[in-house]
Structure formats: structure tokens, C-alpha cells
A and B are shown apart, each in its own frame.
Chain A
Amino acid sequence: MTRKTTRIGSDLTRRNFVIGATGVAAGTLGMPAILQAQAASLKIGILHPVTGGLAYEGEQCRKGALLALEEINAAGGIKSKGGAKIEAVLADAQSKPDVGAAEVDRLAEAGVLAVQGPFASGIALATTQAAAKHNLPHLVDVGVVDQIVTRGLPNTFRFAPGFGKITSFALEALQKINSGAGSPAKTAVIVHEDGAFGSGMAKLLNEKLPGLGIQVTQTLSHPTPQRDFTNIALQIRQANPDLIIPSNYKNEFILMARTLQQQRVRPKVGIYAVLGGAASNVAFAKQYPEAAEHIMDCNHWYNPTKELSKAFARKVADKGWDLTYEVMLNYSCMRVLLDALERASAPTRAALTEALAASTYGDHLMPYGPTKFVNGQNEGAQPANTQILKGNVEVIYPAEFASAKVVFPIPQG
């Protein structure tokens, strides 16, 4: 085959290469002058995986954070700092921990006062470490793995509950709901994704469920992504449990629920998800009402009885966004962060860290009560129990935040 040598092509490419290289070289030699805007605005870094495997969740997180930020800017900015507006500096963790850490470096050098994010536990481990190097306060939005706050990094704060808290809450709730209905649930099958959070969840559940009088007859793990749930559905049918307890991500949860419906598999008492991927996802509830009906979840969720939450839900509906916990948590986190900035003695990282550590902020969406960070973890943080009823995600426990009564056991037939 003849090979054409395109001289013009080569020259153009070479020239572009040189231009590009100069740009990168300039960045390398650290031209901080370009990056230092005049401090009429205060910068906050928002870091989430908006590309890669976690792109959907990351995008939802970002939306929530930006919504809160824009609201506060519109209401006059940070009043104690002369009404200074907040400038969001966005970063993409690309669903990879090393990219996340590099982005923290970039944000730090861009002069942000704090970083919010990064949604995923694996990424959070890397980003909190990177933030500590710059004394940058890092407010972790979701990331449930306990190590995030137990490594003694002084600038790490986690607003939402961690693993341990979520699981003990879920078990306590299950205990109450079960005994309240005469303890119909005696056997369970656990379905979990085989990554960090799924395996950890399965292990804890296996330890603790017998203590509630519930025997785990099968523990079925699956990878993410998983293309087919028929095997799992068949095994569940064979085990014929009272409860199915899933812990996985959105796509797999939906596929599982649809497959269970297809294969006519129904648990005798109910589906009780703990951090179920779509078990409290409104879009899922609306699109597959039959498959979704009565599914329970113990997950991050807002307090629907607050006025702020109702206004928030309306705004989200107006924008046509899915009302998922990522949006709720990030919206709330941003408010916590900006409140701390309001109270900080100066617009610096150190002052902001101090203000966060002393925060008692309660004007957010979550059912946590006033904020209190102890060793970086918000003590009051807790999940909530939801159930999908007639296409809506209702809170069914704890009672003081509930918007509907639980249906347990689920109707048969």
C-alpha cells in the first residue's frame, strides 16, 4: 500500500505541538499571576467525578452544590466579608483517585478556601490526604468509608454519616419496623456489589442480623457493572426469604428490580435496601412503578417536613432534575460551608477550618439537627428510612421526619 507523506500536515502538527508545549511549559513554570484573581470574590472548590463510571452521581452532586452557592450569592453573598460573592471553581475527579488528588492540588493553587466533594469513598481517601498538605479544609459530602475521618487529618470534615452509623441505624430501624409488625421477617438474602462499600456492608449485616432474630440464608455478590441478574433472581426464588437486602449502585439496582419482576420473584415480607442504588430514586419510582412499589431504603435523605426542603424540592422539580440524595447532601454541605465562612474571623483557610470545627449550623435539609463535628465527623448525622409508595419516595422512619406510614409486610399477590 502506498504511503503518502503529507508535508503540510506534518508542519501544522509540529507547530501546534510547539504552541501547546509552550502553554503547558508556562503553566509548569507556575505563572501564579494568571491564576490570582483579585479577591473581590471568595473561591470554593467543588470536586466531583463528572466523567467516568460515577458521572451521573457526580453531576448530581455538582448541581446541588452550585444551587446552594448561587442562592447565597443572590441573597447578598458573604455579608461579614463585605458582601463578597462566592466563586465556584469546578473540578472533575474523572472517577479516579489519582486525578482527584491532582485536582485538589490544582484547586489549592488556584486559591480556593475550601474543597467540597468528592462523592466516592476511594477518591475521598486520596483527596483528603492531598488537601491536608495544603491545610485546605475539605468537606466530604458523601463518601461513607470510615477511614476517611479516622486517619487524624485535621482539615477533613464529613457532614453525612459513615458506614458504621448507617448500618447500625439501618439495623435499629429494621428492628423497630419488624417488631412493630409482629416480627414477620425471620430470613433474609443479601445482594451486594463487590466493591468497597458493598462488601463492607454485607460483612456487617452478616454479623449483626442474627442478633435481630433474622437469619441470612444467602449472600450474593455481583460486580459493577453487572449485565444480567437472572441467576441472582433464581437463587433468591429458591431461598424464598422474608427479606431481600440489596446494597449496590443505581444501574444494577434497577436491573435487579426489573429482573425480579420479570421472574415473578417476590420476597414474603419486603425489600429492605441499605444504601440501595436506586431504592430511593424518584426517576426509577416513576418509570417502573410496579417494580418499585414498596421498596424500602435506608439511605441519605432529607427531612421532607422542613420548609426549606419543600422549597428545595420545588426548585429541583422546576429545573427538571432528579431528586436524589446527592443533590440534597451537596446543597446542605455548601450551606454549612458558607455559614462557616460567614463566621470565620478572616477569609483564610485556617480561619475557615476553625469556624467549621465550631459549627452548630442547623439550617440545612438533612434530618441531623445542629451540626457538630467531632474529629471531623458530624455527630448528629444519620440516614433515614424511605419507602416508595404510589410512585413517590416517602420517609417512613424516624417518626419525627416521616411523611407516610410504612407498609410492612408488603401485600402479597
Chain B
Amino acid sequence: MSARIAGCVLLAALLVVPFVVRSEFWLSFWLLVLMFAFLGQAWNVLGGYAGQFSFGHALFFGGGAFGTAILQVRHGLNAYLAGAVAIALTALVGGVLGYLIFRYRLRGAYFALVTLAFAEVARVLIASFEYTGGGFGMLVPLAHGAANFQFSDRRIFYLIVWALVAGGCLIALWLEGSRFGAQLIALRENEDGAQALGVDLVRTKVLALMLSAAMAATVGVFYVQNFLFVDSHIAFGPAMSIEALLVTIIGGMGTIFGPLFGAVLLHAVGELAKQITGNAPGLNLVLYGVLLILALRFLPNGLAGILGRKPKPVRETADA
């Protein structure tokens, strides 16, 4: 239980940040951490709870980001409406893709690589057409105001994202207690067994994917509203996909606060590495990589594991 307590404490501490922090730099820093925490939580739903490791979550992130950018810039839609539509459309796309993928019973490495392939296809397509910004990307016009979902005071935005992260934790909590969540965990632990017990594999996986996609798309929407600029590489490139899985696995897969722990730790470490290694290009990332390897060596169940949560049982490697 102590992991949950630590998680709540961390959340509370993060809530206090905008009231205490004067520095714009650190405010932006923690804002980004929160966004990545929610992205990780999105991945967690599919990867942590349902056991399907996606390497292409950037597809959904980008769907939300480009969706809202295109709807605002090309069609003049209101920012909130554009965001909502983008999220819904992305979830729908996730559903269709999910149906295709799961119907053919793709698992393990195949599933991972096919999600990567889809993300790459999206990346190339988006960069190839004028309508979606071509090589340049999409620039959302600067227009501060609550009606435009842009805020000159970043702290308001921060609080909204914080609420999102808290909501994400509630979703995870719900998963752990609900029947749907139990089905996810069942198919994670033993797919054939779950099917024997009557779980509709395809339907359950597709629903999990849609939820995950919607959450990831939400982060995409928020990213665009914060930075007002997105291009194909940022949205659909491997960086976001890796971010999503990294924070969750380090923080503890299949746990409520895992993604949050992971996001905080990794970005804090990254920043620390930058401060230690000064200005030598690349050295800070070397330190980051080394710390990652060390963490994997000594923290087998992620951060949540050392905070006392019951570790996920080691399963026999299910071959793809």
C-alpha cells in the first residue's frame, strides 16, 4: 500500500507547484512531466494492465495533436471542440486498427512492431501533404484567452493538466476494481485461459486500445495548446512512443502511480544529468542511459516495486 500513499503525496506536491514556484522554466518543466505522466498512463492501460506492449503510441498522440491543429487552422473550429473531435476520431481510428490487429491475433513482438509501423506510416503521410502541413508542420495562431484554450498564465494550464493526471490515476483505480479491468488483467496473465473463461478477447483488447488511444490523444491536444506548433516528426516520431513506454515500465507497469513515478524520476534525472555534465554535447544523455540501465538492473519491478507494492508476478515468457 505504501506505493499508493507515496503516489498521493507526490500528486499533492505537484498540485502545490504553481503556487510556490516562481521560475517559468521549472513550471514548464513540471508541466511537461505531468503531460508525460498522463501519456504513460495511457500506455499503462494497454501495456500495464492488458499486457499488450505498443511501440507506436505516438500514432495516437499525433492523432490528437494534428487532429486539433488541423481542425483549428484549416476549419476554424473552436479549440475545445477541435480537441474533443480529435480525441474522438483518434479513439475511433484506434478501434479500427485494433480490430484489424487483434482479429489476426497479433501478440508480443509482432504487435509491438506493427504499432511502430503504423506510427511510421502516419509520420510519412502527414509530412507528404499540404493539407496536413507538409514538411513544415502546423502552427496554431497565438490567441491568448480561455475561449481559445490558450492561457497567457501557464499556471492555469498546469492545473488543468494536473487534474488530467489525477483523472488518469482514477481511471487506473477504476480498472483495478472493475470487471473490465479484471478481464484485461486476465488476458494479460493468460490469454487462452481468459478465453476459456468466456472473455471475448478481441472486443476486450479493442476497448482497451480505444481507451488508451483516447488518453494519448488528449496529451497530444494539450501539447499543441501549450506549444502552438507541431510537426510530423514530433507528433509521430519514435520519441513519444519511447517516452510513453519508458516512464511506465520504470515507474511500474500495471500500477496506479507507476507512470507518474516514472515521469518524475526520468525527467528529474535527465535534468540533473544536464546540470552535472555541463555543456559537453551528449554526455548528459549518456548519464541518463547509464542510469536507466542501472535502474533496470537493480529495480526489477520499477519504482513502485521498491516502494513496497506487491510486484507483478514473474510469468513464463509467452512466446510471440
The verdict on A17 contacting chain B, using a C-beta distance below 8 Å, is yes
Question: In the bound complex, how far is the Cα of B22 from the Cα of A336, in angstroms?
Answer: 33
Docked-complex contact B265 and A13, CB < 8 angstroms: no
* Min CB–CB distance B297 → chain A (angstroms): 8
* Min CB–CB distance A201 → chain B (angstroms): 10
> Using a CB-CB cutoff of 8 Å, which residues 22-71 of chain A contact chain B?
23-24, 27-30, 32, 50-51, 55, 59
Chain A positions within 8 Å of B127 at CB level: 194-195, 223
The verdict on A102 contacting chain B, using a C-beta distance below 8 Å, is yes
The verdict on A21 contacting chain B, using a C-beta distance below 8 Å, is yes
> Using a CB-CB cutoff of 8 Å, which residues 1-33 of chain A contact chain B?
3, 6, 9-10, 12-14, 17, 20-21, 23-24, 27-30, 32
B30's nearest neighbour on chain A, judged by CB, is: A28
Docked-complex contact A30 and B135, CB < 8 angstroms: no
Docked-complex contact A106 and B136, CB < 8 angstroms: no
Segment at the B interface, from A121-129, A289-297, A385-393 = A121-129
Contact of A196 with B272 at beta-carbon distance under 8 Å, contacts A10-B298, A97-B234, A125-B229 already known: no
Main secondary structure of the interface of B (DSSP, over half): helix
Contact of A9 with B298 at beta-carbon distance under 8 Å, contacts A24-B271, A59-B281, A125-B139 already known: yes
The verdict on A92 contacting chain B, using a C-beta distance below 8 Å, is yes
Question: In the bound complex, how far is the Cα of B234 from the Cα of A13, in angstroms?
Answer: 32
Render B276-315 as a binary contact track against A, CB cut-off 8 A, 1 for contact.
0001011001000000001101111000001000000010
* Min CB–CB distance B305 → chain A (angstroms): 9
Question: In the bound complex, how far is the Cα of B135 from the Cα of A57, in angstroms?
Answer: 20
Chain A positions within 8 Å of B147 at CB level: none
> Using a CB-CB cutoff of 8 Å, which residues 202-229 of chain B contact chain A?
227-229
Q: Out of A28, A105, A151, A196, name the residue touching B137 (CB < 8 Å).
A: A196
Chain B positions within 8 Å of A133 at CB level: 24
A24's nearest neighbour on chain B, judged by CB, is: B268
Question: In the bound complex, how far is the Cα of B24 from the Cα of A123, in angstroms?
Answer: 18
Question: In the bound complex, how far is the Cα of B134 from the Cα of A145, in angstroms?
Answer: 14
Docked-complex contact B281 and A55, CB < 8 angstroms: yes
Residue in B20, B279, B297 with the greatest tally of chain A CB atoms within 10 Å: B279
Contact of A122 with B298 at beta-carbon distance under 8 Å, contacts A28-B21, A105-B28, A134-B24 already known: no
Question: In the bound complex, how far is the Cα of B294 from the Cα of A101, in angstroms?
Answer: 31
Chain B positions within 8 Å of A184 at CB level: none
Docked-complex contact A50 and B281, CB < 8 angstroms: yes
Count of chain B residues with a beta carbon within 8 Å of a chain A beta carbon: 45
Render B245-280 as a binary contact track against A, CB cut-off 8 A, 1 for contact.
000000000000000000001001101101100010
Chain B positions within 8 Å of A145 at CB level: 136
Chain A positions within 8 Å of B29 at CB level: 28, 102
Question: In the bound complex, how far is the Cα of B234 from the Cα of A73, in angstroms?
Answer: 39
Docked-complex contact A106 and B25, CB < 8 angstroms: yes
Docked-complex contact B137 and A194, CB < 8 angstroms: no
> Using a CB-CB cutoff of 8 Å, which residues 107-155 of chain B contact chain A?
124, 127-128, 134-137, 139, 142
B311's nearest neighbour on chain A, judged by CB, is: A3
The verdict on B189 contacting chain A, using a C-beta distance below 8 Å, is no
A28's nearest neighbour on chain B, judged by CB, is: B26
Chain A positions within 8 Å of B32 at CB level: 98, 102
Docked-complex contact B268 and A30, CB < 8 angstroms: no
The verdict on A234 contacting chain B, using a C-beta distance below 8 Å, is no
* Min CB–CB distance A120 → chain B (angstroms): 11
User: 5 tightest A-B contacts by CB?
Assistant: A105-B25, A9-B298, A50-B281, A195-B135, A199-B135
Can you report 22 residue pairs joining A to B where beta carbons are below 8 Å apart?
Answer: A9-B297, A10-B298, A20-B272, A23-B275, A27-B271, A28-B23, A28-B26, A30-B21, A30-B26, A97-B234, A105-B23, A108-B24, A122-B137, A133-B24, A134-B24, A195-B136, A196-B137, A196-B231, A198-B135, A199-B134, A199-B135, A223-B124
A residues touching B (Cβ–Cβ < 8 Å)? 3, 6, 9-10, 12-14, 17, 20-21, 23-24, 27-30, 32, 50-51, 55, 59, 90, 92, 96-98, 101-102, 105-106, 108-109, 122, 125-126, 129, 133-134, 145, 147, 151, 193-196, 198-200, 223
Q: In the complex, given contacts A55-B281, A196-B136, A199-B134, what are 12 additional A-B residue pairs having Cβ atoms less than 8 angstroms apart?
A: A3-B314, A13-B294, A20-B268, A32-B22, A50-B281, A92-B274, A97-B229, A101-B227, A126-B227, A129-B142, A194-B134, A196-B231
